[in-house]
Structure 1
Amino acid sequence: MTMQDNLPTLRWGIIGTGLVASWFVSDIILSRPDAKARHIIKAVGSSMVVKGIEVVEKNCPEQRTKVYGNYYEVYDDPEVDIVYIATPHALHKKNCIDAIQRGKNVLCEKPLAINKAEAQVLVDLAKAKNVFLMEGVWTRYTPLVARLKELIHVEHIIGEVSRVFVDFGLDMNLQDLPSDSRLKSPELGKIILDTGLGLESTQPSIAASQSVVDGMDYISSVILTYPGKTPRQGILTCSLCYKTAPEFMRIEGSHGSILVSGQAASYPDTIVVRHKDESKRDESLSFSHVGFGFYYEADAAALDILNGRKNNSLLPLDETLFMLNLMDNVRAIGGLVYPQDG
């Protein structure tokens, strides 16, 4: 990693050539006035060279990116500082292990692994090899989420929070997908891992229900009840059968509520604060940015690596393990079993 134009420069190797990988590549090289780092795509690894070439030509044609016909050459490339892994869920463990064993820093698209046991192996290996490891929950790094946390936890604008509703629904038309689709393969991981349901790191009690068809979780509903004197619940749902409405989150507190909306739950752009006190007007905050916003997490990774940190404070590995343990418990209640669970 080097310093260039007063910004740290991070050199990336990309593993996988699917849609999310192409979004990530095009996003992190965008020119931005608020950039905290400069990102270079040094290598792309794909099982099919032609797909790697397509990703480079479409998303980073001026980067002089090398395309390899396997992942190992990316891991072994001395010009790659960090590997971004965007393969199907079930491959994350092996891909991360291979990269970490070769001394590479890793940003792995969510989920880090299929279950907590797999993720613990990766966390322990990263510590042993003294490399940076981070799960790619990219929306956590956006300005909207930062402002939301300030409103709730610093300004206490809606007082004591008692209930949170979140829905993440996609209309995937599952019945018409081919049988070999990732979304219909129990071996590759499911929607509850795609959406990354979660609320906070305090251990809650869990009630859950899942509609599982042929090993697929089409719909999941989770109620998290948190301990303490003040009643608190998180009601979290996800679906592959119907797209979430623009207003996908509501946070209720003793002094009012906060609504979060956007063109998708993965692309929020508006916060509305509603006060119980009728003398106060509702407040609306809009957030916009170029691209998807993957560059916020890429910048965070760059600054961590520059400063010698092996873990990210906004999404520490302990929280990743906590969330996967929660997911394991939800699946146990709902009856959803992955082949990797043993």
Structure 2
Amino acid sequence: MLQHTMTKRKTLIIACFGIALGLCIGTVLKNYRALEIVKRCSIRPTNQKTPHEIIGLNDEDTIQNSQRNLVFVGVMTAKNFIEGRARAVYDTWGKEVPGRIAFFSSEGSYSDELPVVGLKNVDDRYPPQKKSFMMLYYMYEHFIDRFEWFIRADDDVYMEPDKLERFLRSIDSSKPQFIGQAGQGNSEEFGLLSLEFDENFCMGGPGVILSSETLRRVAPHIPTCLKNLYSTHEDVEVGRCVQKFAGIPCTWNYEMQYILRHNSSGRNAYTGKLKRKEIHNAITLHPIKQAPLMYRLHSYIQGIKADELRQESMLLHRDIRNMAKYLDVPDDSTNMLPSVSPAAVPHSDTGKRHFEDHNILVVKCEKLK
């Protein structure tokens, strides 16, 4: 009887202990969940912005009604380069792109000032095969109907937006296009890239251009391409994927090596004299390995553009002067621009300082009839 009583008492104690322990664990878990909710509310999520907000694209902007929807440039970078090379790109040619630009980095990457996309389940390991493919898929998923062209670029390339725009507007984007500097690998890699004799790829360094039709054909098959990689070269695998699902190779065009320029000097590229033919003629220049060199090159290019504008202004002034003589406009006319009128006083505050009375051309032409 005594033993039975002790057994009941022991069972009761264990039950009470279990209930108390359960209540404690429940309270801890409840408080932990509450703390997690507060924590999530207090920390700004990195993916708060929508894809359109990241690149500053308005919902009403389309290819048909906006001049800034010509091209979307995707720049591959890494967390360690966002505040260096990526920022240098954005501060120089990135803001002048005739379209939009975004920097694609590993998951969790974020910037308050740059349009950075942190690709889900992507890290910064090299070679960036997954990053490149997932960037193309991101472009397709969010922007395929918003841009005519899509560019895959690195954060060590310099582009001249004006030349790029003229080049792209001369090509039909409704057709499958895969434009870049064609390659088949060097002599050491010959036969190791699983390329047929008539296959090639667009070298990634100086930039790869895809029409919207090409991306539309390729992007749905990107998971398949990622599962069937035959080399460690990202640009080779992208080229293989395009060849298989878009049915086109990289452009076989000798001129591309001068338009999309790759300098084989590596880290020493573009560190010396900049007054060179390749810089003046190219649309893209690669590689620019250090941020200060990007700013230096941009300053030089801007200087060239300023000289061109001064030359154009001088020629226009000459045309105005010649037309004024043809129309018998007197040299002391207050409608003449001071810089083209020898009788005008450059610093005079009297009279009009611009050739702004365009009606004079009509009046003189009528008198000549």
Give the TM-score normalised by structure 1: 0.27
The structure, 1 or 2, with the larger RCO (C-alpha pairs under 8 Å, 6+ apart) is 1
The structure with the larger Rg is 2
Which structure shows the bigger proportion of residues in helix conformation?
2
Higher strand share: 1
